[in-house]
């Protein structure tokens, strides 16, 4: 097939690279978001997808508003593509664009539709404590992830996944499912979505990063890993990011990674602890410190103080001389 690929972030890279290794398909052009200025020097940074495309000498188009960009629309029409593949591109495609390719526009979406339509399905599935997610390929229409579904693939969400680790899994899964979809595109019967079952994964606001210690330990843990590495609290009037954590409720029934197994030996003492919401109630040597939440206890494993590098919570204790009874606000 002749393919035009639409994508922007790291999540889309696995699919583009998979297509580039498949001799059944030809990427004739890549459409991605315009370069952005980032960092201290406000350097112009190309998208991850643009970097891959340039490495393979593929034409790259970067319209600011693709629906209104007549030169890009004409170029797209001239490609005579069989299909447009869209993976986290970041702009809505018009009906004019959707109708250009022979087999339409196929989107690789990071959830099991119709659940978690929208811009941040991976983050909100973790935040909500879902145990399973996956990838859906669909034929795009003019709605927000409302098109008819083609194929699905499922993957579990573990207690230790964060948005980065889960995105890596789903990116690989999405690349494989896209190739499977293309190989069967003439035979697959699209299945309309049931709008009554739809849920939405809205854009993330800065307010979503602020930790409210009145929530349960599991809710806070899910927030920390969903919005990794941006969630924060206040420590001694300074901003403190919480990078990694572990809810200590019902830990006997959880399979811990080997580096955390020793924590179970502290449980008999931990379960007797009680403090005010946000209070540091116990240090655990070589691991970190335990905080009282609205319901249950949360072990903080990694943190980042404003202006400092990420460090283990144990090193943070030693560096700041954290004391029992101090409060995180």
**Rounded Cα–Cα distance for residues 289 and 183 (Å):** 52
| Cα separation values, 316 from 161, 285, 295, 308, Å | 23, 12, 25, 11
State yes or no: 135 annotated in a binding site.
no
State yes or no: 112 annotated in a binding site.
yes
Report residue 329 as tokens. 């606000």
| Cα separation values, 208 from 117, 127, 257, Å | 19, 10, 28
Chain centroid to Cα 181, Å, comes to: 23
State yes or no: 111 annotated in a binding site.
yes
Q: Is 298 in contact with 290 (CB distance < 8 Å)?
A: yes
Main-chain dihedrals φ then ψ at residue 48, nearest 5 degrees: -55, -35
How does strand 105-109 pair with strand 83-87? Answer: parallel
Helix/strand/coil for 47? coil
Helix/strand/coil for 150? strand
State yes or no: 258 annotated in a binding site.
no
User: With helix as H, strand as E and coil as C, how does 168-214 read?
Assistant: HHHHHHHHHHHHHHHHCCCCCCCECCCHHHCCEECCCCHHHHECCCC
Say if residue 322 is preceded by a cis peptide, omega within 30 of 0: no
DSSP at 250: T
Longest dimension (CA), the chain: 70
Roughly what angle, to the nearest 10 degrees, separates helices 163-183 and 10-20?
30
Residues annotated as binding site?
A: 111-114
Residues annotated as binding site for (6S)-5,6,7,8-tetrahydrofolate?
A: 111-114
């Amino acid at each position: 097939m002749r393919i035009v690929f639409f994508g922007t972030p790291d999540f889309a890279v696995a699919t583009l690279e998979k297509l580039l290794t498949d001799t059944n398909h030809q990427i004739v052009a890549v459409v991605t978001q315009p370069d952005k200025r980032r960092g201290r020097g406000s350097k112009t940074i190309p998208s991850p997808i643009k970097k891959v495309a340039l490495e393979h000498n593929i034409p790259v188009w970067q319209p600011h508003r693709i629906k209104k960009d007549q030169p890009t629309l004409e170029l797209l029409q001239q490609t005579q593509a069989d299909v447009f593949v869209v993976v986290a591109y970041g702009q809505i495609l018009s009906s004019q664009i959707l109708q250009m390719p022979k087999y339409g526009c196929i989107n690789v979406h990071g959830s099991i539709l119709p659940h978690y339509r929208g811009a941040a399905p991976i983050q909100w599935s973790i935040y909500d404590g879902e145990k399973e997610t996956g990838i859906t390929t669909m034929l795009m229409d003019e709605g927000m992830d409302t098109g008819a579904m083609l194929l699905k693939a499922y993957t579990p969400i573990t207690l230790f996944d964060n948005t980065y680790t889960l995105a890596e899994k789903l990116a690989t899964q999405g690349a494989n499912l896209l190739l499977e979809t293309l190989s069967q595109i003439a035979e697959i019967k699209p299945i309309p979505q049931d709008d009554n079952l739809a849920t939405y994964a809205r854009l993330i606001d800065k307010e979503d990063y602020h930790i409210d210690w009145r929530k349960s330990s599991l809710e806070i843990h899910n927030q920390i890993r969903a919005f990794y590495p941006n969630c924060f609290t206040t420590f001694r009037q300074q901003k403190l990011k919480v990078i990694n954590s572990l809810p200590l409720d019902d830990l006997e029934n959880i399979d811990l990674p080997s580096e955390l197994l020793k924590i179970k030996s502290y449980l008999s003492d931990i379960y007797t602890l009680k403090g005010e919401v946000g209070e540091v109630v116990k240090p655990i040597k070589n691991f970190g410190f335990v905080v009282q939440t609205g319901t249950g206890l949360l072990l903080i494993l990694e943190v980042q103080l404003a202006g400092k590098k990420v460090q283990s919570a144990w090193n943070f204790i030693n560096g700041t001389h954290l004391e029992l009874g101090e409060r995180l606000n």
